[in-house]
């Protein structure tokens, strides 16, 4: 590793986050640099383009206070890295991985590139271990498995943070070999109280010692927001693949990340794509979300639970849309349910877990779990259609069967979606069967004869 | 080997000062790591190139070395059954946990070679000069398409490395060419064939809604557009598993890594229903996941279709699953943006449509150079933003495909998979393919298909009406139409990809199921005409049997299905008797 080089007086221009300088040292693309202003404060940056005489440096923090003559540039001659070592858990860090809890710096046992590297697709292990979140709409209807990336699509003002906190506190594996579980909380452009509430909740449940927090507050520069998840995931990868833990990464709010991406792209003068977001937003988000996974031969896993608030409550907006194309499903929260007082307000129909089939059923959860959830989906979809009809011509105008579906729909929301206390998967399943018993047997076409006999027609034995 | 020196670099694009002539689209080795790149512009003594790998660490002054050839891949017996990156470099567990730039080494498989020609034989391009041992199809060794001449020498049977010359050919000009079991072919150039043939038979997919309603011809092209969560990938995987092609090329272009893991986990354990061999033996996976370099994503589609054409040239039927062509188009957009080209619609380059056309036109049924018949069927997934089919990639794709399978969010949310919307999808080769169904003993296919589509069309119309007047106020025939359409949706069109019994449905079983459904609908129509209320028909227990027909009666139970036919008859007789008794009483 070559030594750092310091250039002074090399700046030729400053434009937003971009710094133009004469290339007076041996610099390579993506080298990390520290831009030191007259006041002596260092800012993180990287070389984003260069030719024989000049180079462009992207400053990843605020450029306020920099000038052309007094600014020095320290060139690291290696890409942006994070120093990692034992003792990550229980600590709080800022966007660029420096402790902000007053504690000592981490021992630097190894350095890892914050951009991460793509997991070799052939070395990936298929995620299969069911995680019990104790939330019925997730466990029963859209199961989460280790190594999955499952975002919460929410809207402003909905209790997504509360739900994420509860999942972080309660999530567990069903069998004994649970291994070491830990949480990495990433606050991206979050208000102070969101971060504090999370910290307090984790502390109260005694889980703070298994949690590392990376915070980028709402008033910090947006360029730093692009770094927060990368530093946090680098730490998470260290916890998962070096220290062999099972890591759950909770990231809130990815919408702030995307807004920052748009802002930075615009300041680079790039050609915008949909709604002003850069055309590479899909690839950029993928470099974050694809860092979830399991690797063959390594015991640790990395699971992601990103949270995003849909601008204008619109699921077709580029942020949820591109996220949905990358992640393995989504849990959608709805305002209507929230207004009805249903907590957690999970909209079951647009929610989906793509890895559910790999992690549920015989040998994983319960042999009848997939059929039950399938049947509940079909019935609830039917109930929603009946609601549309009822809204036009009134409940009385509906045929008998449709009226029973309407009742089923209400019961489903009030009893299964809404929950005040944690439920095991068995409890959720028992509730599901009970709800189905209110419907005519002839409508339950997704269940086999044996399932009907066991759970619907002779419920006493099934318990 | 021509040389150049990097002058400017930003992201995956670089400019280099050349001292010797380079060709456009020439493949390059960039920097000390010898990263793969391609020349995309030449201007004076400057060339512009895109690099297919992570360019971190490159700097002005680093060397760029030309290969003298356009971007090419090595086609040979080591391809089948394996997984590669977008540039056909092998990925395996052995190559480490992380994908690394310059992850170089070419394949170095050893194969047992059996010569098929002798000294002095005349050979033309594309002809077979030997075979390799091994399981699965695609074991012929081909003469490179543009080479022909007289065999000067050929190695005896034995085990050789894939890239070791085994044959020497002297062309008409007296030049000697050394040929190995594998040969290079530029990915952006279609491989030549003797003759293009027109469609004659469908590619049987084993999916009822496709084979019966929207078939795709062998050598045809289909698009599969759908928003996220509508089941594109599951359907693509089902097709890869159960369609009746000899070779499957599956390209994951800018998609999820866990999906590749799923395919790699599942395929070796699944059996091909026709040959009884592991599915992996007939499969090639090309993986460029969404977090791998974008420029390689652009190339991966061409790599895949070149591999498909190579197997076609051996007289095989190949199906190419591209998931997703939208990511490929986005890669085009990204590279175009970095070059500062003028953007067209939605920021895509103006040449998007012609690139899509070039790609889909490489799907074909041909007489190969060696006289055998082969085909490449392309099935491209499209991921339109916000599920909006009017966006550029979907609308341009629509112009070049002959089968359009539109996925619908409403159907997906009710977990009614495959979520293909029957009224928004189409297939253009129906008339040609009806002959094939006739040969399979289903001469009513076209008529059934027309009735089924008519039924679904009426359903949409009647449901709109029912929303205003109420379902009960519809006349009995129309209520029956709704009931029949529900039965077709639930009992016939829905098919679970995860059900051991129903994930594959042979044309024979599809025909049998369709006949039972139509028998029921006809009898129910007669009963309603005779005055039976539709509610009584909806309450018939036989309806449940029909709704679960796919799930309960597998491929081995075709005999039992004929019993269902008599049960249906009996059920309606009982209904009529009951009604007559009631009328008399």
Contact of B553 with B546, CB cutoff 8 Å:
no
Q: Do B9 and A51 touch (CB under 8 A)?
A: yes
**How far from A85 is each of A89, A234, A302, B577, CA to CA, in Å?**
10, 12, 18, 83
Gap between the Cα atoms of B127 and B368, Å rounded: 9
Report, as an integer, the average pLDDT of B62-87: 91
| Cβ–Cβ under 8 Å, residues B258 and A147 | yes
What mean pLDDT, rounded, does chain A reach? 89
Q: Given a cut of 50, is residue A391 above it in pLDDT?
A: yes
Q: Sort out which chain A residues have CB atoms less than 8 A from B467's CB and list them.
A: 388-389, 392-393
CATH of domain B3-70: 2.40.30.20
Q: What is the spatial distance between Cα A193 and Cα A80, in angstroms, rounded to a whole number?
A: 30
Nearest CA to CA, how far is B552 from chain A (Å)?
A: 8
How does strand A301-309 pair with strand A152-154?
parallel
Task: Give the C-alpha separation, B390 to B393, whole Å.
Answer: 8
Interface size A-B, in CB pairs within 8 Å, comes to 227
**Is A250 contained in some domain?**
yes
**In this model, does residue B104 exceed pLDDT 60?**
no
Domains of chain A: total: 3
Where does a domain end: A79, A94, A114?
A79
Q: Which residues contact B347 (CB under 8 A, 6 or more apart)?
A: A271, A272, A273, A274, A279, B333, B337
CATH of the domain at A109: 3.40.50.12240
Q: How confident is the model at residue A1 (pLDDT cuts 50, 70, 90)?
A: very low
Cβ contact A203:A165 at 8 Å: no
Q: B572 pLDDT exceeds 60? A: yes
The binding site of B for ATP comprises: 226-233
Which range (A194-198, A204-208, B581-585) has the least confidence?
Answer: B581-585
Higher pLDDT among residues B578 and A149, named by residue:
A149
Residues of A in contact with B387 (CB under 8 A): 316
- Chain length of chain B: 585
B365 strand-pairing partners = B197, B375
Asked if pLDDT for residue A109 goes beyond 70, the answer is: yes
Residue A365 confidence (pLDDT) above 60: yes
Tokens of A275: 């709604």
Which DSSP category does A396 fall into?
G
Q: What are phi and psi of A35, to 5 degrees?
A: -100, 115
- Residue A61 pLDDT level (bands cut at 50, 70, 90): confident
Residue ending a domain, among A23, A55, A79, is A79
CATH classification at residue A31: 2.40.10.170
Residue B119 has pLDDT above 60, yes or no: yes
Strand B283-288, strand B83-84: pairing: parallel
CA of B132, closest CA in chain A: separation in Å? 26
B393, with CB counted inside 10 A (0-12, 13-18, 19+), is buried
Question: Does this complex have an ipTM over 0.90?
Answer: no
User: pLDDT tens digits for B392-422?
Assistant: 999 999 999 999 999 999 899 888 899 999 9
Q: What percent of chain A has pLDDT over 70?
A: 97
Whether residue A461 is predicted with pLDDT greater than 50 in this model: the reply is no
The pLDDT > 70 percentage for chain B reads: 98
* Beta strands in A285-421, from DSSP E residues, in sequence order: 293-295, 301-309, 329-333, 346-353
Structural domain boundaries of chain B?
3-70, 109-183, 195-428, 445-584
Given A120, A293, A392, which is nearest B95 (Cβ)? A120
Q: By percentage, how much of chain A surpasses pLDDT 90? A: 54
Domain shared by A66 and A97, yes or no: no
Closest partner residue to A321 among B83, B97, B385, by Cβ?
B385
Residue B40 has a pLDDT of: 87
Least reliable range by pLDDT among A37-46, A148-157, B201-210, B395-404: A37-46
3-state secondary structure of B66: strand
Q: How far apart are CA A287 and CA A93, in angstroms?
A: 21
Q: What is the DSSP string of A132-156?
A: E-S-HHHHTTS-EETT-B--EEE-T
Query: What's the first-to-final CA gap in chain B, in angstroms?
Result: 99
Residue A444 structural domain: 369-462
**Position A2 pLDDT exceeds 50:** yes
Q: Kindly give, in sequence order, each residue whose CB lies less than 8 Å from that of residue A126, ignoring residues fewer than 6 positions away.
A: A294, A358, B258, B261, B262, B265
R_g of chain A computed on alpha carbons: 25
Domain assignment present for A363: no
What pLDDT, in 10s, does the model give residues B518-562? 999 999 999 999 999 999 999 899 999 999 999 889 888 888 888
Residue B398 phi, psi dihedral angles, 5° rounding:
-55, -30
Whether residues A386 and A398 share a domain: the answer is yes
Residues of B in contact with A31 (CB under 8 A): 57
Given a contact cutoff of 8 angstroms between Cβ atoms, the answer to whether A325 and B330 are in contact is no
What is the least distance, in Å, from the CA of A353 to any CA of chain B?
9
The answer to the question of residue A333 being in a domain is: yes
Instruction: Determine the residue of chain B that is closest to A127 in CA distance.
Output: B258
Superfamily of domain B195-428: P-loop containing nucleotide triphosphate hydrolases (3.40.50.300)
pLDDT > 60? residue A11 = yes
Q: Do A51 and B257 touch (CB under 8 A)?
A: no
pLDDT digits (tens, 9 = 90+) for A393-437: 788 878 888 999 999 999 999 999 999 999 999 999 999 999 999
For residue A243, tell me if it sits in a domain: yes
Instruction: Please tell us whether the domain made up of B109-183 is placed in CATH 1.10.10.10.
Output: no
- Region of B342 (left: φ > 0; alpha: ψ -120 to 50; beta: rest) is beta
Percent of chain B at pLDDT exceeding 90: 64
Instruction: Check residue B534 and give its pLDDT.
Output: 92
For domain B445-584, the CATH architecture is Orthogonal Bundle (1.10)
- Kind and range of the H or E element at B327? helix B325-338
**Looking at CA atoms only, how far is residue B488 from chain A in angstroms?**
13
Give yes or no: residues A403 and A428 share one domain: yes
The span from the CA of A348 to the CA of A113, in Å, is 39
Q: Mean per-residue pLDDT for A83-104?
A: 90
User: Looking at residues B21-35, what average pLDDT do you find?
Assistant: 89
Tell me the C-alpha distance between B117 and A87, whole Å. Answer: 68
CA A323, CA A334: separation in Å to the nearest integer?
18
Tokens of residue B430, six digits = 């129906």
CB neighbours of B553 closer than 8 A, spacing ≥ 6?
B501, B509, B513, B560, B561, B564
- Considering the domain architecture, whether residues A69 and A92 belong to the same structural domain is answered as no
pLDDT at A207: 83
Residues A15 and A148 occupy one common structural domain: no
* pLDDT score of B101: 67
| pLDDT tens string A150-184 | 999 999 899 999 999 999 888 887 765 556 889 99
Q: Which range, of A98-102, B244-248, B294-298, B504-508, averages the lowest pLDDT?
A: B294-298
* A364 within a domain of the structure (yes/no): no
| Chain B residue closest in CA terms to A350 | B413
Separation between Cα atoms, residue A256 and residue A271, nearest integer Å: 21
Chain B residues with beta carbon closer than 8 angstroms to that of A321: 227-228, 385-386
Check whether B205 has a pLDDT greater than 50.
yes
Per-residue model confidence (pLDDT) at position A177: 57
How confident is the prediction for chain B on average, in pLDDT? 91
Residue A314 lies in a domain: yes
Instruction: Using the Cα atoms of residue B191, residue B195, residue B199 and residue B205 in order, give the sign of their dihedral.
Output: negative
- Chosen domain end from A327, A356, A385: A356
Task: Give residue A437's pLDDT.
Answer: 94
Is the domain of A246 the same as that of A327? Answer: yes
Q: Do A271 and B343 touch (CB under 8 A)?
A: yes
């Amino acid at each position: 590793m070559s030594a750092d080089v310091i250039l002074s007086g090399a700046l030729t221009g400053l434009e937003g986050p971009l710094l133009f300088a004469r290339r007076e040292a041996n610099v390579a693309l993506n080298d990390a640099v520290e831009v030191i202003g007259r006041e002596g404060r260092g800012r993180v940056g990287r070389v984003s383009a260069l030719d024989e005489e000049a180079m462009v440096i992207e400053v990843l923090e605020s450029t306020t206070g920099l000038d052309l003559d007094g600014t020095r540039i320290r060139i690291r001659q290696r890409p942006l890295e994070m120093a990692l070592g034992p003792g990550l858990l229980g600590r709080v860090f800022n966007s660029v991985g420096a402790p902000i809890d007053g504690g000592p710096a981490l021992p630097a046992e190894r350095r890892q590139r914050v951009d991460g590297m793509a997991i070799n697709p052939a070395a990936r292990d298929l995620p299969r271990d069911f995680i019990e979140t104790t939330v019925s709409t997730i466990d029963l209807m859209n199961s989460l498995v280790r190594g999955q990336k499952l975002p919460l699509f929410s809207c402003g003002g909905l209790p997504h943070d509360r739900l994420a906190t509860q999942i972080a506190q309660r999530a567990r594996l069903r069998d004994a070999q649970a291994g070491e579980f830990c949480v990495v909380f990433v606050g991206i452009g979050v208000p102070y109280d969101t971060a504090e509430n999370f910290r307090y909740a984790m502390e109260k449940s005694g889980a703070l010692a298994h949690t590392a927090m990376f915070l980028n507050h709402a008033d910090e520069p947006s360029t730093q927001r692009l770094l927060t998840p990368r530093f946090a995931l680098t730490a998470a990868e260290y916890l998962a693949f070096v220290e062999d833990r099972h890591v759950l990464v909770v990231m809130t709010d990815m919408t702030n990340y995307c807004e920052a991406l748009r802002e930075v792209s615009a300041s680079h003068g790039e050609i915008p794509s949909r709604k002003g977001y850069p055309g590479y937003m899909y690839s950029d988000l993928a470099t974050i979300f694809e860092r979830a996974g399991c690797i063959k031969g390594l015991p640790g896993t990395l699971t992601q639970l990103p949270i995003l608030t849909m601008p204008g409550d619109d699921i077709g907006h580029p942020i949820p849309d591109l996220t949905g194309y990358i992640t393995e499903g989504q849990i959608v929260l709805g305002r209507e349910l929230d207004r009805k007082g249903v907590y957690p307000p999970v909209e079951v129909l647009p929610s989906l877990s793509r890895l559910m089939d790999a992690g549920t059923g015989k040998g994983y959860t319960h042999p009848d779990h997939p059929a039950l959830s399938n049947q509940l989906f079909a019935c609830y979809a039917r109930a929603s259609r009946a609601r549309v009809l009822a809204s036009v011509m009134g409940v009385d105008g509906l045929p008998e069967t449709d009226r029973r579906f309407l009742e089923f729909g209400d019961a489903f929301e009030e009893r299964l979606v809404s929950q005040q206390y944690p439920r095991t998967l068995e409890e959720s399943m028992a509730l599901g069967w009970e709800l189905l018993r209110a419907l005519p047997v002839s409508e339950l076409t997704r269940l086999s004869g044996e399932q009907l006999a066991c759970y619907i027609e002779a419920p006493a034995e099934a318990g | 080997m021509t040389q150049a020196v990097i002058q400017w670099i930003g992201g995956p694009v670089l400019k280099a000062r050349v001292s010797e002539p380079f060709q456009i689209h020439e493949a390059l080795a960039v920097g000390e790591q010898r990263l793969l790149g391609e020349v995309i512009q030449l201007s004076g003594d400057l060339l512009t190139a895109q690099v297919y790998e992570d360019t971190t660490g490159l700097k002005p002054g680093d060397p760029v070395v030309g290969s003298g050839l356009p971007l090419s891949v090595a086609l040979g017996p080591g391809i089948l059954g394996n997984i590669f990156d977008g540039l056909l470099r092998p990925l395996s567990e052995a190559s480490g946990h992380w994908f690394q730039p310059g992850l170089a080494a070419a394949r170095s498989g050893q194969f047992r070679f059996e010569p098929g020609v002798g000294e002095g034989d005349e050979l033309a391009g594309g002809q077979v000069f030997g075979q390799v041992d091994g399981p699965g199809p695609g074991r012929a060794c081909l003469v490179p398409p543009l080479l022909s001449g007289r065999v000067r020498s050929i190695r005896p049977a034995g085990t050789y490395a894939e890239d070791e010359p085994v044959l020497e050919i002297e062309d008409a000009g007296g030049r000697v060419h050394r040929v190995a079991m594998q040969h290079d072919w530029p990915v952006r150039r279609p491989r030549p064939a003797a003759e293009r043939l027109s469609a004659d038979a469908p590619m049987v997919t084993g999916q009822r809604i496709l084979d019966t309603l929207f078939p795709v011809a062998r050598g045809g092209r289909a698009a599969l557009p759908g928003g996220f969560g509508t089941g594109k990938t599951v359907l693509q995987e089902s097709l890869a598993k159960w369609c009746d092609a000899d070779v499957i090329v599956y390209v994951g272009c800018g998609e999820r890594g866990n999906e590749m893991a799923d395919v790699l986990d599942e395929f070796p354990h699944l059996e091909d229903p026709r040959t009884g061999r592991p599915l992996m033996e007939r499969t090639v996976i090309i993986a460029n996941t969404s977090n791998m370099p974008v420029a390689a994503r652009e190339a991966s589609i061409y790599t895949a279709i070149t591999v498909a054409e190579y197997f076609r040239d051996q007289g095989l039927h190949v199906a190419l699953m591209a998931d997703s062509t939208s990511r490929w188009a986005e890669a085009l957009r990204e590279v175009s943006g970095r070059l500062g080209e003028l953007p067209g619609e939605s920021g895509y380059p103006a040449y998007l449509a012609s690139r899509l056309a070039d790609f889909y036109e490489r799907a074909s049924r041909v007489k190969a150079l060696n006289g055998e018949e082969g085909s490449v069927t392309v099935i491209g997934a499209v991921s339109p933003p916000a599920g909006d089919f009017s966006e550029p990639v979907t609308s341009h794709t629509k112009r070049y495909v002959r089968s359009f399978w539109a996925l619908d969010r409403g159907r997906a949310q009710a977990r009614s998979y495959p979520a293909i919307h029957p009224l928004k999808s189409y297939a253009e080769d129906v008339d040609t393919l009806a002959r094939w169904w006739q040969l399979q003993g289903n001469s009513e296919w076209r008529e059934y298909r027309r009735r089924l589509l008519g039924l679904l069309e009426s359903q949409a119309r009647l449901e709109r009406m029912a929303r205003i007047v109420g379902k009960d106020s519809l006349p009995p025939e129309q209520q029956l139409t709704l009931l029949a359409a529900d039965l077709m949706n639930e009992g016939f069109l829905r098919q679970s990809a995860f059900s051991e019994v129903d994930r594959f449905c042979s044309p024979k079983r599809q025909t049998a199921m369709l006949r039972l459904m139509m028998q029921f609908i006809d009898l129910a129509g007669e009963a309603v005409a005779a005055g039976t209320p539709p509610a009584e028909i909806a309450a018939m227990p036989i309806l449940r049997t029909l709704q679960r027909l796919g799930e309960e009666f597998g491929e081995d139970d075709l005999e039992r299905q004929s019993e269902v036919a008599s049960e249906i008859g009996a059920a309606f007789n009982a209904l009529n008797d009951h009604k007559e008794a009631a009328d008399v009483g």
